[in-house]
Amino acid sequence: MADNQRVVIIGGGLAGLSATMKLCELGIPVDLISLTQVKRSHSVCAQGGINSCNEQTRQLGDSEWKHFDDTVYGGDFLQQQPPVKEMAYWAPKVIDLMDRLGVTFNRTFEGYLDRRRFGGTLYKRTAFAGATTGQQLLYALDEQVRRWETQGMVRKFEFWDFLGPVLDEEGRCVGAVAQDLVTMEIHAFPAAATIVASGGCGLIFGKSTMSVFCNGSAVSRCFQVGAKYGNPEFIQVHPTAIPGSDKLRLMSESARGEGGRVWVPRTPQDPRPPKQIPESERYYFLEERYPQYGNLVPRDIATREIFNICVNEGLSVEKGRMAVYLDLTHIPREELDRKLGGILEIYEKFQGVDPREQPMKIFPAVHYSMGGLWVDFAKSSDGGLQAGDPANQRTNIEGLYAIGECDYQYHGANRLGANSLLSCIFSGLFVGPCIQTYIKQSGGAAVTRTPSTLFDAAVSAQQKRHEDLLNCRGGENPYLLHQELGDVMTRAATVVRHNDQLDSAYAKVEELQQRAARASISDTGSWTNQNVVFTKALQDMFPVAKAILRGARLRDECRGAHYKPEFAMPSLTETDPEARRREAEQWCDRFEENNRRYLKSTIARWNGTDPDISYEDVDTSLIPPRPRLYGLVGAEIIEQVWRERQAKRKEQVATAGQ
Amino acid sequence: MNGPNSSFFLRHEFLIRRLHSLSGLIPVGAYMVVHLLVNSTLINGAGAFQTNVHKIHALGKFLLPVEWAFIFLPIIFHAVVGVWIIRSGQSNHSQYRFTANWRYTLQRWTGVIAIVFIFTHVFHLHGWFHAQWWLENVAQPLGMAQFRPYNAASTLAQGMQNYGWPPFYLVGILACVYHFANGLWTMGITWGLWVSPAGQRRATLACAVVGLLLFGVGLTALVATQVTDPEEARGVEDRMYESEDGDR
Amino acid sequence: MSAPTPANPSSPAHPTKVNVRVLRQDGPGQPAYWERHQVDYEENMNVISVLQKIAAQAQTVDGKKVAPVAWECGCLEEVCGSCTMVINGRVRQSCSALVDSLLAENATEIELRPMEKYPVIRDLVVDRSRLFHALKRLQAWVPVDTYGHLGPGPRINRPQQEEMYPLSKCMSCGCCMDACPQYQKIELQRRPGESDEQYQRRKEAAYEQGFVGAAPISQVVLFNSHPTGKSIADGRLDALTETGGIQVCGNAQNCVAVCPKDIPLTKSIARAGRAATLHSIKRFLEK
């Protein structure tokens, strides 16, 4: 455990903790930096569960490959496929490990793991611990890390704010600078490798389902010194959240997984209590429009449908506030308590209504960032990842790695429910041996050979930023600016996006950014100054906000969570079989043309004032892209045309190969 | 991980507190039950009471060691450790007004009352020490050391003939009985006899019944001291003494 | 905005303003002082949104400019355990403390204080490291061999899982300890010239003389009932019978009454008490 091997990890959620414990097991000491006690990280909020192919689904025809396929299809083919494949094949092992670590997964009577169904799949793949699966998983990892802490392998720096990576002359990352949020002291952490595992950036949207720590600042600070940011515009809006004045609280997809039904009264704003509205006067719009998946269509689709039914069709259950019913009242109370207790308590506690008796009122909310720091991967001969290769999870800055929600590579244009916990734990475990190899190759040079003046300079640069902020008297209130930013972003860049709105939002964000540079700090003290820490985080939200807006502006198509109505693929309208067939052919032509242009990763690079956008190819070598046809009119014929084309193409490849 | 600097109490905290818990039932609590039962027989008349007292005093030379080993030392141990326990906590019933929290506070108050009561009670009736000079020069002039085992009922009734004593004894008995009954309940949790909240609720009920019955017994004894006429009792005792003498 | 206007008594459900009294402290060892704030009432407001408003306006009810009140919060949905404080005299999570119900308790004002049993860092932020140190002391983890793949974990039947799950929901918020009359505050001041490590060691030594508290005891029960976790059960019970162990419990049962997650803490304490007794008898006879 030589100190020149020490790794710094930013963030103690599922990804950061699983990387920490894996590195410790490999004999590599870790400094763990977190904005809060790691046990309080945002991963605790994950409710529904964690996916893997399992013995029961296998007997129904499921396989790791199908899990991989569902993930890629659900993500609209925007993922790099090798890492996703590796993840799907690791999934059963990840769950086995978590099971061994003592996670209190729900059980069948015989004592096996119980599973539930989640969105975007037809199999019951999801293992769960009540409705607090994320919390349970995080605690298991937290406990393991505490175990290593008692053995001196981990030093925790809780209540520390990561201020940025330290780069040497060659552009390698040789550590990090962070600030103690209690004493406000700034220190450098030399590191053989630095891993960012800082989660999402929901706070950019003001209110979201995310915790207050998820401000995206860590990622932004890497972005601003040259790390590439991939797919910024892909922000998942969760279909079901409980509207609140401080936060939009998540109502897990598991509520639908356990049989919850989404509906609105057919009469707009029907004044009757929901239980008195007869079945015939209820509009179960998801079930009617998507008979195969019903209430469990992928999240982007459910979100748009709920948004659409309230905004365009005017069927919101309340006047003046948008919401639809999520109904569990047909399920026995005892079963609800056993499987969904945690989330139903949340609803009851914050809304004062018992969801076992009354349908819940829910509306979509910003939930997850599919995009994040661009990371590399090393493809293996079987199309997965090369284990232990130092390229895996590495950003474009040598020595700087990203894992978990803050990397961009697992969820493409839309994340499937219960895949995030998997991607976080998987990437954390998988990166361990890769870092080990990197340290072996570099010999810990970052720590031993970097002159201390470099770290001193990095610290004093941050010290200067801190003091300049304390002395700033520009008159702007950072909290109000944050509200404005949230409003702009929520209006322009969530469920439905329009180019003109994105343009004006960008101008507005630019204006807010300049005003934020003139923020007045009401607390000028040097002890536990949350005011200045918040302001710094706010200022660092703008680069990411701009990347989101610009990425969205330049992507003139619909893909997963990114939806622009002008560019939506139409349903088929012809009724005559032949005409319909021709229409389907045209549809497929357009689809292929669109993929040629836009089936690419958006890559943002910060030029000092704005993000520059470029595009990179996506590795779709394992599963060729196909139309995502959930609920589209004419889906059958399009599918048929598409299958024929694919078959023909295969044949051509085969003959060319002979 | 017990540091060398921690006090003896802290280093052996677990054992001491388990013994404290145990001593509350055996022997201290058990003794109190017997004591109150014996005393309540006074209600049946001076003769019945004297007979029971005689049975106790039949131990003769063993009485003193037995009293010290099974009564006085355990009570002193229970009291000393109890005071240490009280000092280790800080009641907050006015902030957290839950029943169990009130019981926690009451357990401590009644413990203190019980200490004061028992020490006064032993002084009042036995004078603390049996040395002659102490009894004659200190205890008796103060109106203490009232009880004579061979004139049990009459001296007791005589000793209680003061307006101050009956209320004092009432409060004392109440405190002791509460402390015992509630202590029984906490003991059951401490030792893991009643585990679930429902089990603990049922145990509360059972302990309350034990407490009420015991208080009934104690009250009987107290009432008996007030309805017994010392003169009349003296007569009974004298007759018993004589007849015993005759038997010899 | 000269004098605090009390919430409109005629319609206590919908006042226009909410009065808040906050016990502030600028740092460890500094004097605590009360400060009055007033914020606009909104429907479905919780204490978090009140504190957010206080931070944004950064002035007292008298218009005096002050630094925002410092406080901790995280998930805002009562699963992270960050935002514990004493609200209207009772320790609880500020996210789930709804203003309407607080005003029903006391219509004139809402009173916010830091937790009582942990050293104040600033205002409503306290140092709860003692709580996490207890988890180390009690080895609250499952000692697995490796993180490599060794197949599934031990089979656990449903009733057993249903016993364990509520215990594993403990979010280390500290409510149970704050309300416990047997859990005493341990606060050390840093000595001049003392290094971080020295200070840390001195704190930990002091923590080890104090009561571990209900939540960590409950974690012992959880891990001692896990088929693999139980392999180090003796070590946990050793720790649980040392200074500050389970014996300090005085059965006031405030822990279970204030626990925001309804964890059956007193049941855990009873189970741990039984196990600790048997364990120490066994130790006495076998050592």
| Nearest alpha carbon to residue A130 among A154, A100, A103 | A103
A646 DSSP β-pair partners = none
Write the CB contacts of B210 (distance below 8 Å, at least 6 apart in sequence): B181, B184
Overall residue count recorded for chain C in this entry: 287
Closest to B2 (Cβ–Cβ): which among C242, C248, C254?
C242
State the Cα–Cα distance between residues A275 and A260, nearest whole angstrom.
15
Rounded to the nearest integer, the mean pLDDT of chain A is 94
Q: What percent of chain C lies above the pLDDT cut of 90?
A: 90
Question: Does A21 touch chain C if contact means CB atoms closer than 8 Å?
Answer: yes
pLDDT for B11? 84
Name the nearest CA neighbour of A426 among A26, A6, A95: A95
User: What pLDDT sits at residue A331?
Assistant: 96
* Cα A221 to Cα A164: distance, rounded to the nearest angstrom: 5
Q: Would you state the structure tokens that stand for residue A608, as one six-digit string?
A: 């000092």
Residue from A216, A218, A238, A231 nearest A550 by CA? A231
Q: What's residue B4's pLDDT?
A: 44
Query: pLDDT tens digits, residue range A432-461?
Result: 999 999 999 988 777 778 889 999 999 999
Range with lowest mean pLDDT among C5-14, C124-133, C220-229 = C5-14
pLDDT at C2 over 70: no
Closest CA to A199 of A212, A214, A210, A220: A214
Phi and psi at residue C90, in whole multiples of 5°? -130, 135
Identify how many contiguous H helices and E strands chain A contains and give both numbers.
Answer: 18, 21
Please name the residue of chain B whose CA is at the shortest distance from the CA of residue C268: B195
Element (H, E) at A240: strand A235-242
**Total residue count of chain B as it appears in this document:** 248
Dist CA B105 CA B111 (whole Å): 10
- What's the rounded Cα separation, in Å, for the pair B203 and C48? 41
* Residue from A56, A53, A43 nearest A15 by CA: A43
**Interface pTM, i.e. ipTM:** 0.95
Q: Do residue B6 and residue C184 have CB atoms under 8 angstroms apart? A: no
CA contacts within 13 A on the Cβ side of A521: 22
The single-letter DSSP state of residue A412 is T
Q: What is the pLDDT of residues A583-626, one digit of tens each?
A: 999 999 999 999 999 999 999 999 999 999 999 999 999 999 99
Mean pLDDT of A398-417: 96
The dihedral sign for the CA sequence A625, A627, A629, A634? negative
* Band of pLDDT at residue A321, cut at 50, 70 and 90: confident
Query: Is A520 an interface residue toward C (CB < 8 Å)?
Result: no
For chain B, residues with pLDDT lower than 70 are: 1-6, 244-248
Q: What are phi and psi of A9, to 5 degrees?
A: -120, 130
> Hey, is C92 helix, strand or coil?
strand
Give the sign of the dihedral formed by CA A230, CA A234, CA A236, CA A237: positive
Angstroms from C251 CA to nearest CA on chain B: 6
Which chains share 3+ C-beta pairs under 8 angstroms with A?
Answer: C
pLDDT tens string C161-209: 999 999 999 999 999 999 999 999 999 999 999 998 999 999 999 999 9
Q: Letter for the amino acid at A533? A: V
Angle of helix A14-25 versus helix A133-150 axis, rounded to 10: 30
Q: Is the pLDDT of residue A559 over 90?
A: yes
- Tens-digit pLDDT profile for residues A205-250: 999 999 999 999 999 999 999 999 999 999 999 999 998 888 999 9
Q: How confident is the model at residue A2 (pLDDT cuts 50, 70, 90)?
A: low
Q: Can you tell me the mean pLDDT for C116-132? A: 97
Q: Quick one: tokens of A346?
A: 């949340």
How close does chain A come to C279, measured CA to CA in Å? 23
The CATH number given to C17-122 is 3.10.20.30
User: Could you report the per-residue pLDDT of B11-55, keeping only the tens digit for each?
Assistant: 899 999 999 999 999 999 999 999 999 999 999 999 999 999 999
Q: Where are the domains of chain B?
A: 8-89+96-242
What does the pLDDT look like over A157-194, one tens digit per residue?
Answer: 999 999 999 999 999 999 999 999 999 999 999 999 99
C243 and B10 within 8 Å at the Cβ level: the answer is yes
- Distance CA(A618)–CA(A601), nearest Å, equals 6
CB contact under 8 A, C247 and B192: no
Q: Which residue from C minimizes the CA distance to A426?
A: C147
Q: Where are the domains of chain C?
A: 17-122, 128-286
SS3 A160: strand
Segment A547-552 shows an average pLDDT of 98
CA dihedral sign, ordered C77, C82, C85, C90: positive
pLDDT score of A632: 83
Pairing label, strands C32-40, C90-93: unpaired
In a 13 Å sphere around the CA of A324, the CA atoms on its Cβ side amount to: 31
Q: Is the peptide bond before C119 cis (omega within 30 degrees of 0)?
A: no
- Architecture per CATH, C128-286: Orthogonal Bundle (1.10)
Contact criterion met (CB < 8 Å) for C253 and B194: no
pLDDT of residue B173: 97
> Can you give the pLDDT at residue C14?
75
CB of B243 within 8 Å of a chain C CB? The answer is no
Q: What is the mean pLDDT of residues C255-266?
A: 97
C-alpha torsion sign, points B227, B231, B234, B236: negative
Min distance B73 CA to chain C CA atoms (Å): 22
Instruction: Quick: pLDDT tens for A462-489.
Output: 999 999 999 988 999 999 999 999 999 9
**Nearest Cα residue to A344 out of A427, A434, A254:** A254
Q: Give kind and range of the element (H or E) at residue A34.
A: strand A30-34
Question: Would the pLDDT of C11 be above 60?
Answer: no
Q: Which of A192-196, A299-303, A319-323 has the highest mean pLDDT?
A: A192-196
* C64: chain A residues, CB-CB within 8 Å: none
Q: For residue B49, what are the CA distances in angstroms to A498, B56, B101, B157, B233?
A: 100, 11, 40, 12, 10
Catalytic site includes residue A299: yes
Which residues of B fall within a CB distance of 8 Å from C247? 13-14, 17-18, 190
- Beta strands A7-10 and A193-196: pairing type? parallel
| C-alpha–C-alpha distance, residues C123 and C112, integer Å | 10
Rounded Cα–Cα distance for residues C146 and A624 (Å): 37
CA dihedral A288, A292, A298, A299 (to 10 degrees): 30
Say which amino acid occupies B25: L
**Residue range B8-89+96-242, CATH number:** 1.20.1300.10
**Which residue is it, tokens 């017997």?**
B34
- Residues 288-347, chain A, touching C (beta carbon < 8 A): 338, 342, 346
**Could B18 and C277 be called an inter-chain contact, meaning their C-beta atoms sit closer than 8 Å?**
yes
Domains observed in chain A:
3-47+129-237+368-458 (3.50.50.60), 239-364 (3.90.700.10), 470-554 (1.20.58.100), 580-657 (no CATH)
- Chains A and B, touching by 3 or more CB pairs within 8 angstroms: no
